[in-house]
Amino acid sequence: MNRALIVIDVQESFRAQPGWEQIGNPKIADPVNRLVRRAREDSDLVVWVLHAEPGSGGAFDPANGHVRLMDELARPLPGEPTLQKTSHNAFTTTNLQQLLTEAGVRELAVCGIRTEQCVETTTRLASDLGYQVLFVIDATTTNPVGGFSVEEITARTEAVLRDRFARIVTVAELA
């Protein structure tokens, strides 16, 4: 196993917040499920990552029940870890790097919610740690931020990551 699919923050917490109706792709589970199927067919490791803010009282507080995979996502199989992070990237507050090292993973495909935030930040750190990263652009989504549209944010993320931190790919290229 040389590759892992990292599914970042595709969780019910986002639907529980105001603004979900502005998300770029409300059907984000569809392309993610395609990637999961392909990863499993290729015997790649699938790692599920959820963002949590314990004690916050908000949608990301595990006590409120929204810190769980979106209902329409494939369910994790035995051996597929589900990690909870409390930072923007999937490495700093989890044992992700240890899991990947133990599995012999050198290449990551990343997807998920908040293209420019948690998915991009995880990509940058993974690259710094020496992983080859595939950023699956059409299996990420976000909301408009700071006057920028989803399309502008996605184009910016693609531009700053391309050939510096990741290879930008599509679901069709991988699945």
Does the structure show a pLDDT above 80 at 1?
Answer: no
- Find out whether 128 and 108 touch, Cβ atoms under 8 Å: no
Provide the residue ranges of all domains of the chain, joining segments of one domain with +. Answer: 3-174
pLDDT at position 175 is: 76
pLDDT at position 162 is: 98
> Of 10, 118, 134, 139, which one is the catalytic site residue?
118
Cα 159 to Cα 18, 109, 163, distances in angstroms = 29, 17, 9
- Stated pTM of the model: 0.97
* Residue-wise pLDDT tens digits, 104-119: 999 999 999 999 999 9
Does the structure show a pLDDT above 60 at 22?
Answer: yes
Counting every residue written for the chain, the total comes to 175
Per the prediction, the chain carries an average pLDDT of: 97
CA angle 92, 132, 11 (to 5 degrees): 50
CATH class for the region spanning 3-174: alpha beta
Does the structure show a pLDDT above 70 at 71?
Answer: yes
* Residue-wise pLDDT tens digits, 86-140: 999 999 999 999 999 999 999 999 999 999 999 999 999 999 999 999 999 999 9
118 annotated active-site: yes
